[in-house]
Structure 1
Amino acid sequence: MSSAPVHILLVDDLEENLLSLEVLLRRDDVVLLKARSGEEALELLVHDVALALLDVQMPGMNGFELAEFMRGNERTNHIPIIFVTAGSADNQRRFRGYEAGAVDFIQKPIEADVLRSKARIFFDLYRQRRQLAEQRDALEAASLALREADRRKDEFLAVLGHELRNPLAALGAGLHMLKKRAGTDQAEPIREQMERQLFHLARLVEDLLDISRISEGKISLQKERIELATVLRSAIEASTPNLEAAAHRFTADIPEAPIWIDADHTRLAQIVSNLLNNAAKYTPAGGAVTLRARAADGWVEIEVADNGVGIAPEMQSRIFRLFEQVEDHRDRAAGGLGVGLALVRQLVALHQGTIAVCSEGQGKGSCFTVRVPG
């Protein structure tokens, strides 16, 4: 239940009466809002009030008129009102009070136990109502998140169907052509094309397996003391075909002095390779991709930068979500299921590290920075 304080409105034209009410109702979890007139009380109704104690007889706007105003206002019409009166509560006065929206009357002089008991009931009701509102908001937020996840999963399945169909169609066509050209010089190029499509298909299946591992929390690390340069060389080797295919200028800035780190060699290389492949994919042909690494203050920092299509500010917080792809980049995401960066974030987190992206916007390149403990 929320621990926010409860606001109580006290309205009486006599200061001594306000002080008496304050003494009776003072609690650590209660904020008492005091007003000497109906007009002054209206200014205090900007707060979310759990209960209002109104003096009936006041100069200017009396208690009944203030209550009628509160009942006519959408913001305040839910506030329980107890009238405090020094006069006799005859039937006519009670009728007008209840008609104005009162839930009860209290006679002066006030019985302390009676007032505290009634106030406590409204405190509890207010907190229960606020708790229900918070639960409703939480449920709405969860429902919205589920709908968004469902939408992205539907998009992912559509992309998956397209991505699987292409290599399967190419493999089928290749087998058909091999039957016709078996034993000829044309057979070898066909087999090479089929090998590329098979590699592409295997990578898609591996992405699907990684989705399952992410969802079920089954990705684990095999940490050991390793030298960072060996990890980076493995990542570069894995990414070189994509970098060369796009004729990118690739630069690696790796310190000559050994940098030792406790990490999973395969998974850390996968992190860097995924970032390099991502840079290669979203950088126009002939672009520039840079890999930098350094150690400082007990951390190892790995940076992959490019001068490619960039990322709009509103997308930079979304690209690490599972199945998420930048809408304007989908045409470039050949062979991608939108799980690469989600997997990278998961693997970085398992290394107790962080990953951040920086881009000045579309067409201005991007830079991903991974920090893991040294």
Structure 2
Amino acid sequence: IRIPDLSARPDEIGRLSRALRGMVKALYSRIDSNEQFAADVAHEIKNPLASLQSAVGTLRMVHRDDQREKLMEVIEHDVRRLDRLVSDISNASRLDAELVKEEEEDFDLLAMLGNLNQYLGEDARAKGIDYITDLPAQPIQLQGLEARLAQVFVNLITNAISFCEEGDAIRVWARRRANRVLIVVEDTGPGIPDQALSKIFKRFYSQRPVEHFGNNSGLGLAISKQIVEAHGGVVWAENIRPTEADVTSEPLGARFVVGLPV
């Protein structure tokens, strides 16, 4: 049904027309987004399923115990990968509705970050990584969903830990500006490939070493971006370089910045 465009009218009917057309446009946008999400999900699930099918078919034909054991490891890895993928997809598909339903509350951002730094710092140090924090002395009050924003910072920090090796360092710091607070997670890991900087927050995109293949769904950063934007904030990623004037220089690490209104 095509809704006539009466938005030029200066009366109640014009306002109603504008409101209805806006709602229809938002609805179609959501439908398109859901269709794209479903297509992405189908594509991502096909990969481990194809690997499983190949491994099971080969398992029927091999007789050596060492070969069968290797194929069983492949099958177990793909099953874990599917389980992780389905769980993350389920969380991502519910996120929109939950962000709308959950009640926003006032909370101290620095107290939340302090708690996260305490236990995530232990994980980093156990891996031989220096964990440095630099937070303001005065509390920073925010209104929002504390648990959801904590999910964002847990994701950013655990990502940094996973890319760092013994001897590397992670620094978590925050600064208050006039009407915004910046929270930064930076590390001395390998940095982000230049071609990945524009894709890193897209669903199912993952740029990890071969040894970590299949251990992540590629949804973590996309979910983090969705949560931050639902709070009226922004998040971006960049490389730390020895000099900003030379963009071709090797990165010294990666930096993720979250900006939130206060």
TM bin (shorter chain): 0.5 to 0.7
Q: What SS does the aligned partner of 1:319 have?
A: coil
Higher Cα Rg, which structure? 1
Q: Comparing 281-290 with 250-259, which one deviates more in the overlay?
A: 281-290
Q: Give the one of 155, 170, 175 matched to 1:274.
A: 155
Distance (Å, rounded) in 1 between the aligned partners of 2:173 and 2:82: 31
SS in structure 2 of the partner of residue 272 of structure 1: helix
Q: Does 1:345 align with 2:225?
A: yes
3-state DSSP class of the match of 1:208?
A: helix
Match of 1:321 in 2: 202
Asked if 1:158 is matched to 2:47, the reply is yes
Task: Name the structure 2 match of 1:293.
Answer: 174
Which amino acid counterpart does residue 344 of structure 1 have in structure 2? S
RMSD of aligned residue pairs (Cα, Å): 3.4
Residues 234-254 of structure 1: per-residue CA shift (max 9 Å, x gap): 332453454234221001111
What is the CA-CA distance between 1:371 and the residue it aligns to?
Answer: 0.3
| 3-state secondary structure, aligned to 2:97 | coil
Determine if the alignment matches structure 1 residue 309 to structure 2 residue 190: yes
Q: Distance in 1 between matches of 2:85 and 2:40?
A: 21
Offset from partner CA, 1:49-90 (integer Å, 9 cap, x none)? xxxxxxxxxxxxxxxxxxxxxxxxxxxxxxxxxxxxxxxxxx
For 1:340, the aligned partner's letter is G
Q: Which has the higher contact order (CA 8 A, sep 6+)?
A: 2
- The one-letter code sitting in structure 1 at the alignment partner of 2:195 is E
Give the whole-Å Cα distance in 1 for the aligned partners of 2:88 and 2:110. 26
* Closer, same or farther: CA 353–247 of 1 in aligned 2, 3 Å: same
**Secondary structure at 1:250's aligned position in 2?**
strand
**Which of the residues 256, 276, 279 maps onto 2:137?**
256
Q: 5+ residue gaps in structure 2?
A: 1-31, 52-80, 242-248
Q: Is the 8 A contact 2:164 2:188 kept in 1?
A: yes
- Give the Å deviation of 1:333: 5.5
Tell me the equivalent position of 2:112: 231
Distance 1:344 1:159, change over 3 A: farther
Alignment pair present for 1:336 and 2:225:
no
Letter of the structure 2 residue corresponding to residue 154 of structure 1: H
Give the share of equivalent positions with the same residue, in percent. Answer: 28
List alignment gaps of at least 5 residues for structure 1: 1-141, 163-199
Tell me if the contact between 1:283 and 1:306 (Cα under 8 Å) persists in the aligned partners.
yes
Residue in structure 1 matched with residue 255 of structure 2 by the alignment: 367
CA contact (8 A) 2:231 2:260 kept: yes
The aligned amino acid for 2:185 is V
Structure 2 counterpart of 1:247, one-letter code: G
Query: How many residues get paired?
Result: 192
CA distance in 1, matches of 2:147, 2:105: 11
Residue 219 of structure 1 corresponds to 98
Q: 2:231 & 2:151 partners in 1: Cα distance?
A: 13
- Whole-angstrom distance in 2 between the partners of 1:324 and 1:149: 15
Alignment of structure 1 residues 43-54 onto 2, 5 Å: none
